[in-house]
Amino acid sequence: MKIKDIIANVKKDKDFQDKIFIGDFAEKFFDLNYIQNWDDQDNLTAYYFANWHCTDKTVGYKVYFYEGEPVAVSEQTGRKSSEEIEWISKEAFKKVKDYIMSFAEEFEPPITLVNLEQECGYDYFVQFYTQMYDYHKNNALYNGDTVKITGYKDSFNDGKYHPEIVEIEFQDGSKIWVETKELRFKFNVV
C-alpha cells in the first residue's frame, strides 16, 4: 500500500485520534518555544494508522490534518524517540505554520505605541563626561550658547564626592567650569 493510499483511507475515529497540544506541536516541529499549550482547537488533528503502547505513551505512525485536509505524516517508534514529521507539500507546511503563528499573535504581550504628537523639546542631556562622544564635547549647549568641552574633573577628584564638572570654552575663547548636568545637546536630526 502506498502512503497516499494510507493518507486517503486512515480511520478518523476516536480510537485512533491523537490529542494535539499546540504548544508542544509548535516546539517540536517549528522550534517555537513561546506558544501556550492550547488543546481546545480542532483545526489541526492527527490519527494513527499504526500505533502501539510504549511504557506509558502511545507511539507509531500518524497522519496530520489541517481543516480536514491531510498535511503531514509522522513516525515515532518509541516513547523516548523523537517524532519525525514529513510534510505533504510546502503549501501544507505554510498553512499549518500560519495557523500555529496565529496562537503566538493571540498571546503577544501588549505593545506601547508612540504618541507621534508628543512634544519632547530639541535637546537632551548626558549625565556623565565618560558617557560622551567627541561630537558631544564639540557641540554642547550651555544656557543656549554652543560651547566646547575642554577639561574634566570627575566626582571623586580629591577622594571626596563632588558634582562632576567640566571646563567649557565659549566661541569668544573664554572658559568656565560648570557641572556636567548643566549642559544640553541637540538631537541628532537635520
Q: Give tens-digit pLDDT for 57-75.
A: 999 999 999 999 999 999 9
Tell whether 101 and 142 lie within a shared domain: no
Half-sphere exposure of 108 (CA within 13 A, CB side): 8
Contact 25, 36 (CB under 8 A): no
Per-residue pLDDT, averaged over 152-165, amounts to 78
Would you state the pLDDT for residue 157?
64
Full residue range of the structural domain in which residue 134 is found? 123-186
Tell whether 94 and 173 lie within a shared domain: no
121 pLDDT exceeds 80? yes
Would you state the pLDDT for residue 154?
77
Tell whether 62 and 21 lie within a shared domain: yes
Among candidate residues 74, 106, 138, the one where a domain is terminated: 106
Residue 118 lies in a domain: no
Tell whether 14 and 59 lie within a shared domain: yes
Residue 112 lies in a domain: no
Contact 124, 135 (CB under 8 A): no
Tell whether 86 and 129 lie within a shared domain: no
Among candidate residues 106, 140, 155, the one where a domain is terminated: 106
Tell whether 14 and 88 lie within a shared domain: yes
Identify the DSSP state of 92: H
CATH number at residue 152: 2.30.30
Give the number of domains in the chain.
2
